[in-house]
Amino acid sequence: MRIVAIALGGACALLLSLAGSGRSAHADELPSYFKEIVGAETASPAEIGTKNILQLNTTMFELYADAGQVFRKNILAHHPLILGLFSGAGGRFILYRPGMAPIDAPSVPIVYQLLKSVAHSTMALGEVVVPYLNSPGDLTWRSSLAAYRDRMQFALDGLDATPMRDDWRPNNRNILQNNIAFMDECLKTNAISADALQEFAKKQSPLLKKNITWAAETQVAHWMEVIGGWKQMLGDEWDRTYAASNTIYVARQNNVLFSVLAQFFPPEAINDRLMLIETVSFTTTPEDMLDSLTRIIADRAVGAAFFGDYHLMDYELMGGDARQAIIDEDAKRNIAVNLPPQAPFGSHQWPTLITPGPGAKSLADLP
């Protein structure tokens, strides 16, 4: 016993010694250095029972994480899979094929980023000055504006050396020059006025719209070529291909990457083999996307086995019952029910806003 106790260390030696001696490990028998940290622990049967039941849910997620790795391996072994990930460079597409190394598609031409960067420079300028419109005596904006003005000048000076189309350069030059002129006026007068900002915005708006149009054309043409080539390469395997792209709140409507993918999938593939996965930031990782896609596909089999519907688990399980509970609670409170029409499980409607209505729907609709 002594040899084992020494090998296991001091704490274990104490426990083994107590066990071997036949004495009870009461608090009053513990060495003095234990008394400050050891006390009698009590829990009611209700607390123990609650903890044990709640642990089942915690363990479920642990087991699912382990099973998810197996599910992913099996899915990738039988199905091609395309991930479309949002990025500041116009997106990233990855093709996974059974038994083969992933293919990372070439990036959108750099001119896309140049067009966006110039357009964003004007929007960023608005972020710098807007907080001070109602604070004419606060000049803390000057240092930030002066530093940004220098960066703007560097960008203007290097514009002609960039790989931008010759017929697009004048528009971008005008945007940068207008930015600099506005900043110079603010710095000269030590003031940011609402009228000056409105006039500046009015001047820049039609120029910004052109950059947005050209950037969209560049991005879409590139990805249409990529996805079209992959579909041709996969041949009959395309009918077994899954695809997903990510989105945040502001990008869910007319999501570019998802919309490009949808041009190569049949309508019935939407929300079945083609999915839009909402995320909480602009960018995510392929690993997280694969985890999400794996869980969606794996849960469908569970839903079919337990409830008889393959797409049931794509939806909040308590949603239907909660919907009726909301209706009942509305009746109790005498308030109007405000809920959307119910859609069937496995609906192939676009996972974005699709109901027509009045009002502007694109930049082209705005004055």
**360 and 245 together in one domain:** yes
pLDDT of residue 204: 95
The answer to whether residue 14 scores a pLDDT higher than 60 is: no
pLDDT tier, 365 (very low <50, low <70, confident <90, very high otherwise): confident
Mean pLDDT of 48-63: 88
Asked if residue 288 lies in contact with residue 277, where contact means CB atoms within 8 angstroms, the answer is: no
CB 191 within 8 A of CB 123: no
How large is the average pLDDT for residues 58-80? 85
Segments of 241-335 assigned E as strands: 242-247, 274-278
Whole-number pLDDT of residue 2:
41
Residue 18 lies in a domain: yes
For residues 243 and 276, what is the distance between their CA atoms, to the nearest angstrom? 9
Q: Exposure pattern of 136-165 as b/e (b: 16+ CB <10 Å)?
A: eeeeebeeebeebbeebeebbeebeeeebe
| Domain annotation covers residue 65 | no
Residue 246 and residue 101 share a domain:
yes
Q: What does the pLDDT read at residue 153?
A: 96
Domain count, the chain: 3
Residues 344 and 311 in one domain: yes
Co-location of 177 and 324 in the same domain: no
Residues 209 and 121 in one domain: yes
Identify the residue with better confidence: 355 or 173.
Answer: 173
Q: What value does the mean pLDDT take over residues 64-90?
A: 89
Rounded Cα distance between 351 and 118, Å, is: 31
Is pLDDT of 15 > 60? no
301 shares a domain with 190: no
DSSP 102-151: -EEPPPPPTHHHHHHHHHHHHHHHHHHHGGGTT-TT--THHHHHHHHHHH
Look over the chain and give the mean of its residue pLDDT values, rounded to a whole number. 88
Mean pLDDT of 79-104: 95
Q: Is residue 353 situated within a structural domain?
A: yes
Name the range with the highest mean pLDDT among 16-30, 178-192, 344-358. Answer: 178-192
Is residue 347 located within the same domain as residue 284? Answer: yes
What is the C-alpha to C-alpha distance for residues 220 and 198, in angstroms, rounded to an integer?
A: 32
Are 273 and 199 within one domain? Answer: no
Q: What is the pLDDT, as a whole number, of residue 328?
A: 95
Higher per-residue pLDDT: 27 or 338: 338
The answer to whether residues 95 and 23 belong to one domain is no
Angle in degrees, 0-180, between the axes of helices 169-189 and 141-157, rounded to the nearest 10: 150
257 assigned to some structural domain: yes
Q: Which residue has the higher pLDDT, 137 or 177?
A: 177
In a shared domain, residues 90 and 117: no
According to the model, what pLDDT value does residue 12 have? 45
Beta bridge partners of 81: 96, 242
Higher pLDDT, 259 or 31: 259
For the segment 329-346, the average pLDDT, to the nearest whole number, is 93
Confidence of residue 99 (pLDDT cuts 50, 70, 90): very high
- Whether residue 115 is predicted with pLDDT greater than 90 in this model: the reply is yes
Task: Quick: pLDDT tens for 263-322.
Answer: 999 999 999 999 999 988 888 999 999 999 998 998 998 899 999 999 989 888 888 889
Residue 304 covered by a domain: yes
Which positions ≥6 away from 366 have C-beta within 8 Å?
360
Question: In this structure, what DSSP letter does residue 19 have?
Answer: H
- The model's pTM: 0.83
Segment 224-254, tens digit of pLDDT: 999 999 999 999 999 999 999 999 888 888 8
- List all residues 6 or more positions away from 197 whose beta carbon is below 8 Å from its beta carbon: 126, 129, 130, 133
Whole domain around residue 185: which residue ranges? 111-216
One domain for residues 248 and 345:
yes
Tell whether 227 is covered by a domain: no
Give the amino acid at 341: P
253 lies in the same domain as 357: yes
Q: Please check whether residue 351 lies inside any domain of the structure.
A: yes
Name the residue with tokens 């087991």. 63
pLDDT band at 28 (very low <50, low <70, confident <90, very high): low
pLDDT digits (tens, 9 = 90+) for 140-170: 889 999 999 999 999 999 999 999 999 999 9
Domain annotation covers residue 45: no
With CA atoms as reference, report the closest residue to 120 among 87, 152, 91.
152
